[in-house]
Amino acid sequence: MGKSKLLHSLKVIALAAIATGMLAGCSDQYIVLKPQGPVAQTEYNLIMLSVYLCAIVVIPVLALTAWIVYRYRDVPGNKAPYMPNWHDSKILEIVWWGIPIVIIGTLGFFTVRDTFTLTKPPVQDVKPITIQVTSLDWKWLFQYPDQKIATVNYAEIPAGVPVQFVLTSDAPMNSFWVPSLGGQEYTMPGMAMRLWLQADKPGEYFGSGANFSGEGFAHMQFKVVAKPQAEFNNWVQDVKKTNNPLTKEGYADLVKPGVVNQPITFSSLPEGLFDEVVDKNGGKYFRHTMDMDDSTKHEMSNMDQNSSKKEMSMNMGH
Amino acid sequence: MLENVKDFASHFFVTGDPLIYGADVSIVLAMVAIVFVLTYFKKWGWLWTEWLTTVDHKKIGIMYLIASLAMLFRGGVDALLMRMQLAFPNVHFLESNHYNEIFTTHGTIMILFMAMPMMFAFFNIVVPLQIGARDVAFPYLNAVSFWLFFFGAMLFNISFVIGGSPNAGWLSYPPLSEIQFSPGVGENFYIWGIQISGIGSLATGINFIVTILKMRAPGMKLMKMPMFTWSVLASCITIIFAFPVLTISLALLFIDRYFGAHFFTMDGGGNPMMYVNLIWMWGHPEVYIVVLPAFGMYSEIVSTFSKKKLFGYKSMVFALISISVLSYFTWAHHFFTMGAGADVNAFFALSTMAIGIPTGVKVFNWMFTMFRGRVSITQPMLWTLAFIPCFVVGGATGVMLAVAPADYQYHNSYFLIAHFHQVLIGGVVFGYLAGLYYWWPKMFGFKLNERLGKWAFWTWQIGFYVCFMPQYALGFMGMTRRVYTYGWDMGWAPLNLVSTIGAFLMGLGFVFQVLQIVYSIKFGERDLTGDPWNGRTLEWSIPSPAPLYNFAVVPQVKAMDDWWETKQAGLKIERPHLEPIHMPKNTGIPFLMGMAWFVAGFGLTFDWTWMAVIGLVGVGASLIARSFQYDTDYYIPVDEVKRTETALGRVV
């Protein structure tokens, strides 16, 4: 085993890692690294901070290891000192207990600060909008309690407005993730959890389920479309006019396991459906632990009961 | 009647997939071949007396090793099947459920039936030799542990051809793993396979704590113990606190499934989140259970091949123990995104980062063990040197994942997959392979071939980075784990193909290792001295492979690295004073008890209560039979010890 060969391979590995990193920095496909809203931006800043802080340790350690192995290699005539019984140094020990403590302390400070920040809406001076998200087998139902409409496998949001996603599941747990706008949160039966996200600019953002939930899991992708407020309002009006309502029966069909190939839009939704689903799955047992604020306790609208159920293309892929 | 049989068979056997039929055929052929060879060479008696009934820690260790290598193969094939499915978008190689089964069994097998038994192999083979003992504290219990592991693993593995494999992920989160969403027998196989082997793991933990605390050679104070033994102690302490949690979690899940209870269901007041907490209270310590002994191995190897004392011994011990304690306070970092609240997340983020500190300190100590030493790059050292950069980077991505708000962007993505493979392969697998090369001569009496070993090493290394570095990037591209297929739209295709190529390179590395072992059995350099590496600890003071009783005379330990110090002082060849050696007798009960557990587990899996009852009665009967066994030990007479030692070239 030639040491130079080892060193060479270490170099190759390091170069490959850097190349991967560079690639990551300059392509639009790296959606986590191209934040499109304040939440994703905060998370991105933390990611980069942790990369830099780790690099402070990692790079010297790698370099030092390579140097030590090279300098103290066991070859005849190596003039480097050999001290077989040297095994203790208080100063060195203090250095390498100390450096990680300082770095972890720094990272810990920002972590804790931002953990608390992200539980609040990203901007305080704009009235937020609420969207209730239910993960089903294997599709996403989005209910707009204030607009009184619903969609499946896509959601439209106004750009520049904080969106409070209230999450639950009427199926095995999943996780709701829109990488461009910010990190994910689990959808769990019997619970209504909150996730604040916001898009700075209009655009179409990729979303997916992130926690395995069975056979059709891979097909649980959705789009989040951000539009200027006026266009969003028009879209809501349009939806109300041109689509069929979501009924209790329609919901029961939607819950049945299957994959939805085309997005669906509903012009209205049944009164209290979301809360009912949460309660049904166990929310009634620990209501006291959930702090639903006013925006999620919505007034119910009159619904158009006459429209027929929209035909859905449900089909399990094999 | 015939219709009934047909109907039963179509549910009992897994059908409909050519891959499975191929496996059926090869399993039957392999079994026929084994039976034929054993019968033809009249080896049934040998198998029974030498292996199935043995209580010798070295033989039990070797059986653990063989089983774990077989499981590494099985888990590896699972991995390659997955990577084939993901090599390109929209591949129709595996359908969704088959893919889900494969990633479930891959994870379960690699952690519970590969890493754990390989770790136990080293516990068994090395610890008694390192501490100057003639066996473990409870040799009978040790055999019971092995056979429970073995039959648990077999029960889990037959799900592949009988009944159907579990498919709810390697931790089987409810409600998906509940009867409502997983009505088949797969989850039952999961529960009972792990349950049975888990009891064995717990017993091993207890066994080695007692062994290390009570069986050390005179003079070996705790602070003179070899670092590997320290790491085993730390790991075992973690085992005895963590494994009961696993047993209870799975028992509750079983009660849900079998008796219709509602601990973790969606309705009836169940709360799946409770299971997620419980399973990670075991699951997180579990990863430290498997990595701590690897740390111990690196410590031994670095010191031996730098010809220098381990740097910062006390600091290393302190780091080991603080890791094993801290490992209990980090479990919630596996579900920061489950909405436990900012205060909980903040606590677990900090505790997780904190565990990085002692881990990092250990790396510095290894580096400075080499500093001012003389580093010779042998096969064990190669894997150790590969471990350092790999684990440092994997640890760094671990710290990144610990940043709770950032974890919202990593959770369940391929970034996470890349991270835990980097620490588990780079930390645990590289460590165990380093340990395997290091202690192989002690186990079998010959070294493994260098040239093939280097081929294996480099294909493994290159394969590893080619496989997993792209997965970090895929995580940043929004790819989540456990998707069986994906489209062209997200740009995930090129990196997935690269990753698949890397996986196959690692597979090739494994093939080289198999070749290396086969070749070395015939042509490997024999170890006649018992001390092929110029070792430092007691296991190198005795012949390779060690005789049945390990030490003809129990050594008197004076220093840390006692064997090294003895050699430094100049070996004096003295005629030792021999005495008859007290040893445990072989017994078939552990094997039979394992079989009884297998029958019980199989019955419970298929809801065949009658069969479960038969199996459990068998378990009870073997317990009772053992309690009436009085003739359990014997003495090896001095003459026989003399003969053995002389044959091994030792002065007696």
| B283-302 tens-digit pLDDT | 999 999 999 999 999 999 99
Cβ burial A230-247 (10 Å sphere, 16+ → b, else e): eebeebbeebbeebbbbb
Cβ neighbours around A276 below 10 Å, total = 15
B66 touches chain A (CB under 8 A): no
pLDDT at residue B19 in the model: 78
H helices of B493-608, where?
Answer: 493-523, 562-569, 589-605
Tell if the CB–CB gap between B266 and A189 is shorter than 8 Å. yes
Residue B459 to residues A28, B241, B462, B465, B647, Cα–Cα distance (Å): 33, 38, 5, 10, 41
Q: Taking 50 as the threshold, does the pLDDT of residue A297 lie above it?
A: no
Cβ neighbours around B624 below 10 Å, total = 10
Question: A175's torsion region: left (phi>0), alpha (psi -120 to 50) or beta?
Answer: beta
pLDDT at residue A303 in the model: 32
pLDDT at residue B25 in the model: 84
A59 contacts A103 by C-beta, under 8 angstroms: no
pLDDT at residue B306 in the model: 96
B495-506 confidence digits (pLDDT tens): 999 999 999 999
C-alpha to C-alpha distance for B184 and B186, rounded to whole angstroms = 6
Cβ burial A117-137 (10 Å sphere, 16+ → b, else e): ebeebbeeeeebbbbbbbbbb
Cβ burial A35-66 (10 Å sphere, 16+ → b, else e): bbbbbbbbbbebbebbbebbeebbeebbeebb
Helix axis angle, B379-402 to A38-71, nearest 10°: 160
Q: Taking 70 as the threshold, does the pLDDT of residue A211 lie above it?
A: yes
pLDDT at residue A20 in the model: 59
Residue among A159, A151, A157 at smallest CA distance from A130: A157
DSSP assignments along chain A, one per residue: --HHHHHHHHHHHHHHHHHHHHHHHT-TT-GGGS--SHHHHHHHHHHHHHHHHHHHHHHHHHHHHHHHHHHTB--TT--S---TT----HHHHHHHHHHHHHHHHHHHHHHHHHHHHTTS-S-SSS--EEEEEEEETTEEEEEETTTTEEEESEEEEETTS-EEEEEEESSS-EEEEETTTEEEEEE-TT--EEEEE--SS-EEEEEEE-S--STTGGG-EEEEEEE-HHHHHHHHHHHHHHSBPP-HHHHHHHHSS--B-S-EEES---TTHHHHHHHHTTGGGSGGG----GGGSPPPPP---SSPPPP--B----
pLDDT at residue B472 in the model: 96
Helix axis angle, B272-306 to B430-444, nearest 10°: 60
pLDDT at residue B11 in the model: 77
pLDDT at residue A1 in the model: 41
B235 contacts B120 by C-beta, under 8 angstroms: no
Q: What is the maximum span of chain B, computed from C-alpha positions, in angstroms?
A: 81
Q: Three-state SS across A263-298? A: CEEECCCCCCHHHHHHHHCCHHHCHHHCCCCHHHCC
In the numeric block, which tokens belong to residue B228? Answer: 């590997």
pLDDT at residue B339 in the model: 83
Closest CA of chain A from B486, distance in Å? 7
pLDDT at residue A298 in the model: 36
Q: Which residues of A are less than 8 Å from B370 in CB distance?
A: 68-69, 72
C-alpha to C-alpha distance for A13 and B362, rounded to whole angstroms = 23
Half-sphere exposure for B214 (CA within 13 Å, toward CB): 10
Closest CA of chain A from B293, distance in Å? 21
Q: Helix, strand or coil for residue B178?
A: coil
pLDDT at residue A5 in the model: 54
pLDDT at residue A125 in the model: 86
Tell if the CB–CB gap between A115 and B404 is shorter than 8 Å. yes
**Top-confidence residue, A315 or B71:** B71
- Is the pTM higher than 0.90? yes
Residue among A168, A140, A138 at smallest CA distance from A152: A140
Residue B507 to residues A41, A289, B67, B455, B503, Cα–Cα distance (Å): 40, 50, 18, 12, 6
Tell if the CB–CB gap between B267 and A16 is shorter than 8 Å. no
Q: What are the φ and ψ backbone dihedral angles of B119, each rounded to 5 degrees?
A: -60, -45
pLDDT at residue A304 in the model: 33
Tell if the CB–CB gap between A280 and B267 is shorter than 8 Å. yes
Would strands A163-169 and B633-636 be described as parallel, antiparallel, or unpaired?
unpaired
**pLDDT-derived band at A300, boundaries 50, 70, 90:** very low
B318-376 confidence digits (pLDDT tens): 999 999 999 999 999 999 999 888 999 999 999 999 999 999 999 999 999 999 999 99
Q: What is the CA radius of gyration of chain A?
A: 26
pLDDT at residue A316 in the model: 34
**pLDDT-derived band at A199, boundaries 50, 70, 90:** very high
Closest CA of chain A from B202, distance in Å? 30
C-alpha to C-alpha distance for B312 and B332, rounded to whole angstroms = 32
B48 contacts B580 by C-beta, under 8 angstroms: no
Q: Which residues of B are less than 8 Å from A215 in CB distance?
A: 96-97, 100
Q: Taking 70 as the threshold, does the pLDDT of residue A312 lie above it?
A: no
pLDDT at residue B266 in the model: 84
Residue B326 to residues B244, B354, B386, Cα–Cα distance (Å): 18, 8, 26
A45-74 confidence digits (pLDDT tens): 999 999 999 999 899 999 999 999 999 999
- Average pLDDT in chain A: 85
Q: Which residues of B are less than 8 Å from A80 in CB distance?
A: 372
Average pLDDT over residues A263-272: 93
Average pLDDT over residues A207-235: 96
Find the closest chain B residue to A280 by CA distance: B267
Residue among B320, B329, B171 at smallest CA distance from B241: B329
A281 contacts A172 by C-beta, under 8 angstroms: no
Q: Three-state SS across B232-290? A: HHHHHHHHHHHHHHHHHHHHHHHHHHHHCCCCCCCCCCCCHHHHHHHHHHHHHHHHHHH
B413 touches chain A (CB under 8 A): yes
A237-259 confidence digits (pLDDT tens): 999 999 999 999 999 999 999 99
DSSP assignments along B405-456, one per residue: HHHHHHTTBHHHHHHHHHHIIIIIIHHHHHHHHHHHHHHHSBPPPHHHHHHH
**pLDDT-derived band at A308, boundaries 50, 70, 90:** very low
Closest CA of chain A from B45, distance in Å? 45
pLDDT at residue A295 in the model: 38
C-alpha to C-alpha distance for B137 and B128, rounded to whole angstroms = 9
- The one-letter code for the residue type at B389 is P
A94-152 confidence digits (pLDDT tens): 998 998 899 999 999 999 999 999 888 887 788 999 999 999 999 999 999 999 999 99
Q: What percent of chain A has pLDDT over 70?
A: 81
pLDDT at residue A293 in the model: 42
A154 contacts A223 by C-beta, under 8 angstroms: yes
Residue segments in chain B with a per-residue pLDDT below the cut of 70: none
pLDDT at residue A16 in the model: 60
B313 touches chain A (CB under 8 A): yes
Residue B587 to residues A239, B50, B53, B61, B529, Cα–Cα distance (Å): 76, 11, 5, 17, 32
Residue numbers of B between 450 and 469 with CB closer than 8 Å to A: 454, 458, 461, 465, 469
Cβ neighbours around B606 below 10 Å, total = 17
Substitution target from A12, A138, A186 for chain B, most B beta carbons within 10 A: A186
